[in-house]
Structure 1
Amino acid sequence: MTFSRGAASKPVFQKPRRLLAGLSAFLASAAATLAILTPQAAQAAAPAELRLDYAYYSPESLVIKRNGWLEQELAPDHTQVKWVLSLGSNRALEYLNSGAIDIGSTAGLAAVLGKANGNPIRAVYIFSRPEWTALVVRKDSPIKTLADLKGKKIAATKGTDPFLFTLRALHTAGLSRDDVEIVNLQHPDGRVALANGQVDAWAGLDPHMAAAQLDDGARLLYRNVDFNTWGFLNARQDFISAHPDTLAHVLKVYEKARLWIAAHPDETAKIVADESKLSLPVARLQLSRNDFSQPQPGERQLAALKAAAPLLVQEQLVKAGTDLNAVIDALIDVQSAQPVIAANGGK
């Protein structure tokens, strides 16, 4: 048998070889693609950088940052840690919404407000059950009751637990936001405005509220621990989905800090005082108003937030028709923290 030397007359047995080579290349490419898409591979990919906040109202974050525990925990994954200061829930929520941080610390009802308005977050851990806010007046103030606040100026940071606490407190006295003048100031500025007589009352937040009491002689006009919503550690939904292993490392370190705080109250107070640039007695007073024993998000938070949620509708802080119960159900993540809390015996 003979074959022509022309290009069109190459032996036909070369075509199957080309087909086999092409098929092999295709299968290799497909296998590589499948490997990339498998959950195991996706979970194994740690982020180059983790961005999270620290806040003076979150003692765990201050302890973790001071001791470098998160950097140590993430070192094997070569993940760098970037700490961002949050001065209030409003700032933490802004950073989360914009993607400036992956994990942030807020009050519970503030997180609901953010979630209802499109912030893509879930509450993955409870860093404390605090009484961190109250309505504060100067020591020589003639204001004695909530009813006396009618027509007065109140400093409050909009979008935070103290702001929402103020609205709930006013409602108990038959007042609304329209009956007072809310002066939107960040928490430290609110304390200064109160001391200088620029406002009549201030929706305080620890540790600044504790400092106002001890250093300025300020008086707590109205307290209600049930109107203080829980301290939530929130994570962006996309971060939870893309980096569940890294989130587990973060929660492990938060659990370590929570237990360390219970065992080392004096050292914790010193860290809080150093970080917030306030006195040791102020830090101790702040810590005395925190319960660190309930880290697992669950039914208690769901019930507390659903009881508080009507305020957001009444004050027109969310869009009309918003199903806040559904928002709260979507916010509370009851699964992410369970393994690390269980590893400590659920203490």
Structure 2
Amino acid sequence: MKFARGALLSRLITSLATLATAWVPAVTHAAPPAEVKLDYAYYSPESLVIKRQGWLEKELAPDHTQVKWVLSLGSNRALEYLNSGAIDIGSTAGLAALLGRANGNPIRAVYIYSRAEWTALVVAKDSPLKTLADLKGKKIAATKGTDPYLFTLRALHTVGLTRDDVELVNLQHPDGRTALANGQVDAWAGLDPHMAAAQIDDGARLLYRNVAFNTYGFLNAREDFIKEHPETLAHVLKVYEQARVWIAAHPDETAKIISEESKLSLPVAKLQLSRNDFSHPQPGAEQIDALKAAAPILTQEQLVKPGTDLNQVIDALIDVKFAQPVIASANSK
């Protein structure tokens, strides 16, 4: 009788275990999105090449994912689009991305599309201004929330000036160039390719250059997109890596694409391209160190909430893991 009860109990336990196993939900990946939304920008040559060549559409065709391209005229626009969900992936300067993340924009930097000297302080060819100190009391056009704006603040600090010592005129990058050419401002925080155009077409000169104050070109993705569609993100990065390698091998064709997309001359596009370094696409310690060196300006100019731990924000912003396998795979071919 005891044996029968034991056998019955054993069979019951086995049946319950089988039933429980049957109810364990299978681990599944989210279906590919119906659409991926990303920006293209004149300051991001890869984005222009990818858009022109149709590589991303081809890469995502097997998943039946459509591609929507949105033009970003500056980091501020790209960050606005990311924050609102108008795009899933967007290109910005590194310090601008940090400012966005510190103020609640849910993004991570997943790829470095270039290391560029894309901004400087520009004056008209006949300007009497010779040094940074000469900018005291002057009007400077700068797009708030972008690398050129933050570059300007850092530059002013090197000579003991703050934004209170100048009049910052918030204009989008192309409008800043126009304002400078028309004499409506004394200086302009330029951004390529418009800065290159001002030099070549208007005879403008660079009053202050500092490549160390130009932060890297970050490709940022919304955190919800990263979580829900990591495979699609990997496809996007694969195509960005393809474009990076192609640009190095085809500089003349790249300049032609930049020229045609931005509607600026070929010499302007070539000058812009010459100021880009595409050799370090992997986010990591280099960008972390650069941002930590630049971060104090955000606190000093009260651009973030008091008490914000910017080092912690930087560590949360830089995501090294997505680019690594993509770059390794490309280099192994």
2:171 maps to which of 185, 191, 210: 185
Letter in 2 for 1:165: F
User: Which ranges of structure 1 fall in alignment gaps of 5 or more residues?
Assistant: 1-22
Distance 2:86 2:262 in 1: 22
What do you get for the CA RMSD once the two structures are aligned? 1.5
Displacement after TM superposition at 1:42 (Å): 2.0
Q: Indicate the residue corresponding to 1:282 in structure 2.
A: 268
Correspondence 1:197-236 to 2 at 5 A: 197-236=183-222
Correspondence 1:126-275 to 2 at 5 A: 126-275=112-261
Correspondence 1:76-91 to 2 at 5 A: 76-91=62-77
1:42 maps to which of 22, 26, 29: 29
Q: Secondary structure at the match of 1:81?
A: strand
Displacement after TM superposition at 1:291 (Å): 0.1
Residues 152-192 of structure 1: per-residue CA shift (max 9 Å, x gap): 00000000000000000000011000000000000000000
Distance 2:263 2:200 in 1: 14
1:311 maps to which of 297, 300, 307: 297
Distance 1:346 1:336 in 2: 17
**Is 2:106 the partner of 1:120?**
yes
Q: Indicate the residue corresponding to 1:57 in structure 2.
A: 43
Identity over aligned residues, as a percent? 83
Residues 217-272 of structure 1: per-residue CA shift (max 9 Å, x gap): 00000000000000000000010010000000000000000000000000000000
Q: Secondary structure at the match of 2:78?
A: helix
Distance 1:260 1:278 in 2: 22
Letter in 2 for 1:296: Q
1:328 maps to which of 314, 322, 329: 314
Displacement after TM superposition at 1:343 (Å): 1.2
Distance 2:23 2:244 in 1: 46
Displacement after TM superposition at 1:345 (Å): 2.5
Q: Indicate the residue corresponding to 2:3 in structure 1.
A: none
Q: Secondary structure at the match of 1:202?
A: strand
Q: Indicate the residue corresponding to 2:96 in structure 1.
A: 110
Distance 1:335 1:293 in 2: 18
Displacement after TM superposition at 1:212 (Å): 0.1
Provide the aligned length of Structure 1 versus Structure 2.
316
Find the structure with the greater CA-based Rg.
1
Displacement after TM superposition at 1:29 (Å): 9.4
Q: Secondary structure at the match of 2:29?
A: helix
Letter in 2 for 1:220: L
Distance 1:233 1:346 in 2: 23
Distance 2:237 2:49 in 1: 14
Runs (4+) of structure 1 exceeding 3 A deviation are: 26-31
User: Which ranges of structure 2 fall in alignment gaps of 5 or more residues?
Assistant: 1-15
